[in-house]
Amino acid sequence: MTRSQFLDQLRRGLVGLRPQDVADIIADYNVHFDEGLAKGRSEEEIAQKLGDPVRLARELRAEAQVRAWEEKPSPSNFFAVLFAFIGLAAIDFVVLLPVLGWLALFAFITLVLCIVFVICGIVALVSLVHVSQFSSPASGLARFAAGVGLVALGTALAASLTLFAQWVVGLLVKFARLHYKLLKQVEDGSK
């Protein structure tokens, strides 16, 4: 693969990043080619040493999304990081995608349980209004306690799910940084 082919593939893979970031990355890789050529290597050798430009682009996009999420944690940045990692993981799908699939299923089931507990708790509390005046005070107190308990349980599960999601994103960030470190080792090895 020639320099122009490598840089074209890398540039296409970086679509969506800020133009200045793309220009900086392309400039860095141009420097790697210049240094390699100065040492007597061919463009093909340099490109091979740098690795697959499509994979490099995915790793660089994931790292850019992680930086954006770290600078401003928001739902949109969270999902951008998640989708960047899914794109990066498409290469590593044998290991990571099944794990992410099970984690997503677990999160979905937990979210449904949160909603069910909160709704059941609210129904129990609302049913206090319709309790017959002939029922005992203990029955009303039990319904009140059950309603508050179910709402609290649903809320606690939702809070735990949020903490779990943050933990998973933290692990995904470490995963991306591992890929990024590997990329840096390849870049340093080509110098």
For the chain, the domains span: 74-182
Q: Which residues contact 109 (CB under 8 A, 6 or more apart)?
A: none
pLDDT per residue as tens digits for the range 141-164: 888 899 999 999 999 999 999 999
Cα 128 to Cα 114: distance, rounded to the nearest angstrom: 22
Q: Taking the model in full, what pTM does it have? A: 0.48
Which residue shows structure tokens 């508050």?
148
Quote the tokens at residue 134: 């002939």
pLDDT, one tens digit per residue, over 34-89 is 999 999 999 999 998 888 888 788 778 777 777 776 777 777 767 766 776 666 66
